[in-house]
Amino acid sequence: MTAKISASNNQRLKNILETIANQQNISHIDGLLDCLNALVYEINVKTTGKTKNFQNLLKRLLPNSEYIQKQRININDFTILKVVGKGAYGEVALVRHTTSQEVFALKTMNKAEMVKRDEALCLWEEREIMAFSESEWIVKMLYAFQDTINIYMVMEFVQGGNMVNVMSSYDVDEEMAKFYIAEISLALDFLHNMGFIHRDVKPDNMLLDKNGHIKLCDFGTCVRMNKNGKVVCNVAVGTPDYISPEVLSSQSSNVTYGRECDWWSVGVFLYELLLGDTPFYSQSLVGTYSKILSHAKTLKIPEDAEISKETKDLIHAFLCSSEVRLGRNGIEEIKKHPFFKDVLWKWDEIRTFTPPIVPELVNEIDTSCFDFEEQTDKELLPLAKSALVLRMKI
């Protein structure tokens, strides 16, 4: 081989190595190894694998495949300490890495269940957001891997529970509400600037870290916006009590909407924080959906509600038509709303401010802020509370 050819080959090899080392590239080494394992699995279990040629190929690939799989991070590297949550696709558990002894949250998702609902799941978006955001507002993912049954995501363990726990344990006043609405607004603004819409903003998906600050989680319903800041969708995704009218309308036809659908959910959250229930609650899904679609008539704030006119105005500014909804032009118009006048913190320094509630934690594996053990599976997975595809006709 001549020196010129050798130099050319070395450069090509360098280019390949750079490509497979890039974690944001679909051809990253982990993806290629997944393909190798998938190929071996297909040959090994399918009918075609019984032919002589495939058996010869399997004989060559299987030893390397098994060795590589053992070297890669896998479920055996973790010890499950406690299950802290369950959902439509699987569960979240507190785990300890057996070598480093570090504590993480492990999200396990069943592949079969995910395939059944593929139109509602945005796995690649979820991975990209948590793995590459580098934001204190977003729950961080450290590792992701799979086996023949499940997909696993190893995430930072956010110990402080979620806003559901806060609302059930404390009487939230307006000053507290200002803080939490500001933090979730900043978290959503970061996500929107990444180019994504969440579509399932609710108290369950607002975790509190050990200091009491909000971290946004559960990005399985996220979708990337186009260059105009919009998405076109014909499937209504979200949780019934928090879903916006424009997203709900998409279940019957192609509907274009943008980040403003998340601000609707923030309005529902604010209402619930201070008044104790969601504004469009009904005993039936049809009733809830009907109220949301006719929100101009059905949105009512109780006359005896002890909240300021600024709070009432902000609720109405969020829970209105998408064309005039507060936040549709960005977070700056939210910051300027009178609801936030005279706050004790600065928006760009809010995470240095002591939150209204700071979790009391004993150690790194304290799960006292999660009340999972007090709930049944039926309560954890109600149809009306799951972030599923909504197909009910109105």
Rounded CA-CA distance 87/89 in Å is 6
Burial code of 128-158, b = ≥16 C-beta within 10 A, e = fewer? bbbbebebebbbbbebbbbeeebbbbbbbbb
241 in active site? no
Q: Which is nearest to 107 in space by CA: 143, 131, 161?
A: 143
Residue 43 φ/ψ, nearest 5 degrees: -65, -35
Rounded CA-CA distance 112/97 in Å is 27
Rounded CA-CA distance 201/189 in Å is 13
Q: Which amino acid is at 321?
A: S
Of 77, 118, 173, 200, the catalytic one is: 200
Which strand ranges, in their side-by-side order, compose the sheet holding 103-110?
78-86, 90-97, 103-110, 150-155, 141-146
Do residues 238 and 150 lie in contact, with contact meaning Cβ atoms separated by under 8 Å? no
Output the six-digit token pair for 330.
């960005």
Q: Which amino acid is at 294?
A: S
Output the six-digit token pair for 64.
């390397």
**Residue 107 counted as an annotated binding residue:** yes
Q: Which is nearest to 210 in space by CA: 8, 378, 31, 354?
A: 354
Do residues 83 and 380 lie in contact, with contact meaning Cβ atoms separated by under 8 Å? no
> Annotated binding site for ATP, which residues?
107
> Annotated binding site, which residues?
107
Residues with catalytic function: 200
